Structure formats: C-alpha cells, structure tokens
Amino acid sequence: MRVLVTGAAGFIGFHLSKRLLDEDCQVFGIDNLNHYYDTNLKKARLAQLPRTSRFIFDQLDLADGANLRRLVEDFEPEVVVNLAAQKFAPLCVCLVQFRLWSQPQGALLRG
C-alpha cells in the first residue's frame, strides 16, 4: 500500500512511518522541519527510517500547493495520513494577541 504521511518527522508521523515500513508499505513522508521544537530531534527520527525505494522523504510545506500536487500525481497515494501540525501558537504570538485584545478594552474602561 502506498501511504503519504505528512508531519513524518514529528512524534506521531515518525512512529507511524516506521510501523508502516515494518508492514511492507511504501511510504512517502513530508515535513517542513519547522523550528517549533529542536529540528535535530526531527532529523534524528528521520535518520532512523531506512532510505530505500519503500521510503522517500521530502522537506516540503503543506502550503506549497504546486509541489504537493506534483507529489500526489507522481506517488499516487492510496492513503493519506495528515499529521503535520502546529500544536499551539508560540507564547510571543499569544502575548501580542492578548495585548491587541486588552489595549482597546483598557482604553474603553479608562475613557
């Protein structure tokens, strides 16, 4: 079975890819290797997956529609498991959003 796994360098994507390879599936893994947490951990996971004709990895962002479309047309996955994810917004983004939200509220209260 041909399986496209997004987020293949992530915690779940890596373990799923490993298991699928053990089950003799053909796996195409993609991941943008973002810096949300240590990329060395993601690279170390990928290094454990044997690069054979049954496993291909491409550093690709899901938002790259043209290359994603090309990949799907070439690989023709029978199953797609979408595990690419950003768990939650970094703290700095939350703080900016909180400030944007709280400042007008504060201005209204003071006014």
Nearer to ligand NAD, 82 or 102 (CB): 82
Per CB under 6 A, residues contacting ligand NAD are 6-7, 9-13, 30-34, 42, 61-63, 83-87
Toward ligand NAD, which CB reaches closer, 67 or 103? 67
Q: What are the residues whose beta carbons fall under 8 Å from the beta carbon of 64, sequence distance 6 or more?
A: none
Smallest distance, Å, CB 30 to ligand NAD?
Answer: 6
Q: Where are the beta strands (DSSP E) in 2-108?
A: 2-6, 26-31, 55-59, 79-82
**Nearer Cβ to ligand NAD (26/30):** 30
Q: Give the C-alpha distances (Å, rounded to integers) separating 57 from 23, 51, 77, 90.
A: 18, 8, 14, 27
Map tokens 């043209």 to a residue.
66
> C-beta of 47: minimal distance to ligand NAD in Å?
14
